[in-house]
């Protein structure tokens, strides 16, 4: 918080003092989502490569000077961030690209990138003396909020659409959250949570509206840059629902460039499922964003009305990146491929980044000599029902070595199959 300069409205560009109690611009109302500016001149002397080299906090709080939280009790939180960035062993060859990295965000404490935002939300709630936090979510925002809040002794009230996958719902219940399952889609869920938050005065973790959350999400970009020795790849690929994650990814790289720590911002490729692709369609048809149905297995990015459109569209535009979609079938194929080539199991919304990259390679949008980082945003164990659709069931054999030998030699499932 020390280096925060002010809040700026993403629409009218008015600025507001950093101690103002507003969540959105009072002039542009709800659409006037704020962005947080830092005093870059001051930070240039503080937030340097040397500062990072001598920093032994291997969590997202290592970037504290470039974040909007106060340094209290941070050591008590779950360990969020500093997830591994792998150079692929096999996958790049299979999909035909020279250099590929994977940032595995499924290794965060509640198994998705959302922990970066929720960790910040919990600290902001504590700063503001709130005892209850609330959000509406398709799953991961909720489960990460519930876990991170439990660790810090806060109560949570979570609104989920009824189609949320069981793994994520189970997490909520285990973390002791008060779960309200709404008989409707994400839109209805969001609306009800908004009214309830206003009515009860709970702290609001709805990502699009709360400007601090993107400050947590941007740390994934800071890490990618640092893990690549401040030479990020030509492209970074990330999936998009509300648009807060992609906005954060861009902001992270952009601020590092402002600080002179990296020399260029990677091109950002936003990926959506073709069953719900408002950003991709607006981009391809050169039209304003329009509401879409939420028709995809990638529940975490099934957002018919994105709540953070400006930040998402600017991330792609200003990085000179692009948008692409992929089908549910391609997502399931990508899930299998990532698992068997690199040992990483991502949920549908996470591996859609790989499906999008494969489409971008085949259309020529990305060339095989360009280097790429894929952000795998969440762990596949959260949604095994969809994963099982693509791999089917294992073979069932009698406990008999001859049957096994025959099966392994011929692949003949009949021989040993229990009838």
Query: Which helix (H) or strand (E) is 194 found in, with range?
Result: helix 186-200
Q: How far is the CB of 309 from ligand PLP (least distance, A)?
A: 10
Q: Does 297 bind ligand PLP (CB under 6 A)?
A: no
Residue with tokens 């990483």: 344
Q: Does 119 bind ligand PLP (CB under 6 A)?
A: no
Q: Pick out residues in 191-250 that bind ligand PLP (CB under 6 A).
A: 207, 239-246
Residue 112 or 156 with smaller CB distance to ligand PLP: 112
Residue 266 or 348 with smaller CB distance to ligand PLP: 348
Q: How far is the CB of 112 from ligand PLP (least distance, A)?
A: 5
Q: How far is the CB of 165 from ligand PLP (least distance, A)?
A: 11
Q: How far is the CB of 353 from ligand PLP (least distance, A)?
A: 8
Residue 15 or 191 with smaller CB distance to ligand PLP: 191
SS3 25: coil
Q: Does residue 268 come out as left (phi exceeding 0), alpha (psi in the -120 to 50 range) or beta?
A: beta
Residue 300 or 373 with smaller CB distance to ligand PLP: 300
Residue 104 or 347 with smaller CB distance to ligand PLP: 347
Residue 232 or 243 with smaller CB distance to ligand PLP: 243
Q: How far is the CB of 323 from ligand PLP (least distance, A)?
A: 12
Instruction: Give the up-direction half-sphere exposure of residue 98: CA atoms within 13 A in the CB hemisphere.
Output: 9
Q: How far is the CB of 153 from ligand PLP (least distance, A)?
A: 25
Encoded one letter per residue, x for contact with ligand PLP by CB under 6 A and - for no contact, window 251-290 reads ----------------------------------------
Q: Does residue 17 come out as left (phi exceeding 0), alpha (psi in the -120 to 50 range) or beta?
A: beta
Between CA 269 and CA 324 the distance in angstroms is: 7
Q: Pick out residues in 374-393 that bind ligand PLP (CB under 6 A).
A: 377-378
Contact call for residues 261 and 49 (beta carbons, < 8 A) = yes
Residue 145 or 301 with smaller CB distance to ligand PLP: 301
Q: Does 300 bind ligand PLP (CB under 6 A)?
A: yes
Q: Does 112 bind ligand PLP (CB under 6 A)?
A: yes
Q: How far is the CB of 133 from ligand PLP (least distance, A)?
A: 17
Residue 140 or 274 with smaller CB distance to ligand PLP: 140
Contact call for residues 257 and 287 (beta carbons, < 8 A) = no
Q: Does 114 bind ligand PLP (CB under 6 A)?
A: yes
Per-position DSSP letters for 319-386, written without gaps between them = TT-EEEEE-HHHHHHHHHHHHHHHS--B-HHHHHHHHHHHHHHHHTSS-TTS-EEEEE-BBGGGGHHH
Residue 24 or 245 with smaller CB distance to ligand PLP: 245
Residue 266 or 378 with smaller CB distance to ligand PLP: 378
Between CA 115 and CA 283 the distance in angstroms is: 29
Instruction: Give the up-direction half-sphere exposure of residue 368: CA atoms within 13 A in the CB hemisphere.
Output: 9
Q: Does 143 bind ligand PLP (CB under 6 A)?
A: no
Q: Which of 139, 207, 213 is nearest to 170 (CA)?
A: 139
CA 201 to chain centre: 27
Q: Does 140 bind ligand PLP (CB under 6 A)?
A: yes
Checking 43-48 for CB contacts under 8 A at 24+ apart, the result is 43/3, 43/259, 44/259, 44/260, 46/3, 47/3, 47/259, 47/261, 48/259, 48/261
Q: How far is the CB of 28 from ligand PLP (least distance, A)?
A: 20
Between CA 70 and CA 216 the distance in angstroms is: 13
* Contact range with ligand PLP by CB under 6 A, out of 119-127, 276-284, 334-342, 347-355: 347-355
* Contact range with ligand PLP by CB under 6 A, out of 8-16, 42-50, 345-353, 384-392: 345-353
Q: How far is the CB of 400 from ligand PLP (least distance, A)?
A: 43
φ, ψ at 347 (rounded to 5°): -75, 165
Contact call for residues 417 and 396 (beta carbons, < 8 A) = yes
Per-position DSSP letters for 59-108, written without gaps between them = SGGGGGGGSSS-SSSGGGS-------EEEPSSHHHHHT-S-EEEEEGGGS
Helices (H), 228-327: 244-258, 278-285, 309-318
Q: Pick out residues in 17-36 that bind ligand PLP (CB under 6 A).
A: none
Q: How far is the CB of 338 from ligand PLP (least distance, A)?
A: 14
Q: How far is the CB of 222 from ligand PLP (least distance, A)?
A: 17
Where on the chain is the footprint of ligand PLP (CB under 6 A)?
112, 114, 140, 207, 239-246, 300-301, 347, 349-350, 377-378
């Amino acid at each position: 918080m020390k280096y925060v300069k002010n809040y700026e409205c993403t629409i009218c560009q008015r600025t507001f003092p950093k101690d103002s109690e507003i969540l959105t611009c009072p002039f542009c109302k709800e659409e006037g989502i704020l962005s947080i500016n830092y005093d870059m001149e001051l930070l240039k002397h503080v937030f340097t490569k040397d500062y990072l080299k001598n920093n032994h906090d291997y969590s997202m709080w290592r970037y504290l000077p470039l974040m909007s939280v106060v340094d209290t009790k941070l050591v008590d939180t779950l360990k969020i961030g500093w997830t591994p960035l792998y150079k692929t062993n096999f996958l790049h060859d299979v999909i035909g690209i020279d250099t590929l990295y994977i940032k595995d965000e499924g290794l965060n404490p509640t198994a998705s990138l959302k922990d970066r935002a929720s960790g910040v939300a919990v600290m902001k709630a504590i700063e503001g003396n709130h005892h209850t936090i609330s959000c509406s979510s398709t799953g991961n925002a909720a489960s990460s909020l519930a876990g991170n809040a439990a660790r810090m002794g806060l109560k949570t009230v979570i609104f989920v659409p009824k189609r949320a996958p069981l793994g994520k719902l189970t997490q909520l219940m285990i973390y002791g959250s008060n779960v309200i399952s709404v008989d409707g889609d994400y839109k209805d869920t969001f609306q009800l949570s908004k009214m309830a938050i206003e009515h009860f005065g709970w702290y609001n973790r709805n990502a699009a509206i709360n400007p601090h959350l993107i400050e947590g999400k941007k740390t994934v970009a800071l890490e990618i840059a640092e893990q690549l020795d401040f030479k990020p790849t030509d492209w970074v690929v990330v999936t998009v629902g509300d648009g807060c994650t992609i906005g954060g990814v861009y902001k992270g790289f952009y601020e590092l460039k402002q600080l002179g720590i990296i020399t260029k911002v990677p091109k950002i490729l936003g990926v959506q499922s073709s069953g719900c692709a408002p950003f991709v369609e607006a981009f391809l048809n050169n039209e304003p964003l329009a509401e879409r149905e939420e028709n995809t297995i990638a529940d975490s990015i099934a957002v018919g009305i994105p709540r953070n459109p400006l930040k998402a569209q600017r991330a792609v535009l200003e990085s000179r990146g692009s948008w692409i979609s992929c089908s549910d079938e391609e997502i399931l194929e990508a899930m299998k491929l990532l698992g068997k080539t690199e040992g990483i199991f991502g949920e549908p919304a996470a591996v859609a980044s790989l499906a999008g990259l494969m489409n971008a390679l085949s259309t020529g949008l990305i060339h095989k000599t360009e280097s790429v980082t894929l952000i795998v945003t969440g762990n596949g164990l959260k949604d095994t029902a969809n994963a099982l659709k693509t791999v089917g069931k294992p073979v069932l054999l009698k406990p008999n070595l001859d049957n096994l030998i025959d099966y392994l030699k011929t692949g003949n499932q009949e021989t040993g199959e229990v009838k």
